[in-house]
Amino acid sequence: MDKTFQLGEITINRLGYGAMRITGDGIWGQPPDHNEAIAVLKRAVELGVNFIDTADAYGPEVSENLIREALHPYDGLVIATKGGMTRSGPNQWHASGSPEHIQEAIDASLQRLGLEQIYLYQLHRPDPAVPFEDSVKTFFQLQRQGKVKHVGLSNVSVQQLQQALALGPIVSVQNRYGLFDRGSEDVLQFCEQHSIMFIPWYPIGGSTGDYGEEILSKVAEKHGASTRTIALAWLLQHSPVMVPIPGTGSVAHLEDNMKAADIMLDANDITQLDRLAA
């Protein structure tokens, strides 16, 4: 299993970190423990993470600010962020994909992160009130302006990905996907065919009930690992374009997650886990 992925000019380790959970409850406001949030970010880098995913909507703004506080000037790191979403409260998310909003969002993210260019900027979610192509064209305009190095998408279908590719190069797709949640399998397969990085969000979530949990627990016990770690290990071995970004606000959980890169599931493990799709 290759532990790295070539993202443009930079080689990233395939187990990244998603910085959504370093905010408050409902992905809203400040974290309950500021020092722990900073410690998580620094420890992630110590453990080999060089790809960190965030968004202006996490907090909102809180995640990007914490990343700058903990990690700027980001030596050897790729800080990927997203635009195209607004917030109105805990767990309240609203697509906002107008060109005007995206132009304002990129400038604000650049300022918060302390960057002149964002290496990977992703459309957070298609906005049903805005033509999808208009949103995507704005991202390529930002690329031509030099504010963005590479463009990515999130929460898209194969058809939308094809539409975007007709407008310019897309290097990544971030969709919900995990051991128990494979609704984006067709998007993953398309990404494999076109060597596009696939970033599964909520990679450890979901369940298929007692049977699935029992199988997962048995595999975890066999490897002396947690079920979370096995779920991540399965993702890494499921596809060479997969770059999981498990998020946590706890150093202990982070350290457990990172063990996944060193677990090698055998053919029998894979067969059993492959059957657990909902």
Q: For the chain, give every domain's residue range.
A: 4-207+235-250
**What is the spatial distance between Cα 246 and Cα 177, in angstroms, rounded to a whole number?**
12
Q: What is the pTM of this model?
A: 0.96
Closest of 196, 200, 83, 85 to residue 143, by C-alpha = 83
Cα diameter, the chain: 53
Q: Is 74 a catalytic residue?
A: no
Q: Are 120 and 9 in contact (CB under 8 A)?
A: no
Q: Are 14 and 5 in contact (CB under 8 A)?
A: yes
Q: If you search the block for the tokens 């949103």, which residue do you land on?
A: 135
pLDDT tens column, 51-75: 999 999 999 999 999 999 999 999 9
User: Half-sphere exposure (CA, 13 Å, Cβ side) for 59?
Assistant: 20
**What is the spatial distance between Cα 211 and Cα 155, in angstroms, rounded to a whole number?**
29
Strand 197-201 to 17-18 pairing: unpaired
Q: Are 49 and 17 in contact (CB under 8 A)?
A: yes
pLDDT exceeds cutoff 80 at 210? no
User: In residues, how long is the chain?
Assistant: 278
CB atoms within 10 A of CB 215: 18
pLDDT exceeds cutoff 90 at 203? no
pLDDT tens column, 147-167: 999 999 999 999 999 999 999
Which one is catalytic: 58, 119, 121, 177?
58
Confidence of residue 206 (pLDDT cuts 50, 70, 90): low
pLDDT tens column, 88-139: 999 999 999 999 999 999 999 999 999 999 999 999 999 999 999 999 999 9
Closest of 195, 267, 256, 186 to residue 224, by C-alpha = 256
Which tokens go with 174? 């971030």
Stretch 267-278: mean pLDDT, rounded? 88
**What is the spatial distance between Cα 149 and Cα 151, in angstroms, rounded to a whole number?**
7
Q: Look at residue 245 in the predicted model and tell me its pLDDT.
A: 96
Written as one letter, the residue type at 18 is: G
Top CATH class of 4-207+235-250 equals: alpha beta
**What is the spatial distance between Cα 47 and Cα 224, in angstroms, rounded to a whole number?**
20
pLDDT averaged over every residue in the chain: 96
Q: Look at residue 212 in the predicted model and tell me its pLDDT.
A: 83
Confidence of residue 208 (pLDDT cuts 50, 70, 90): low
Q: Look at residue 278 in the predicted model and tell me its pLDDT.
A: 54
Q: Look at residue 276 in the predicted model and tell me its pLDDT.
A: 84
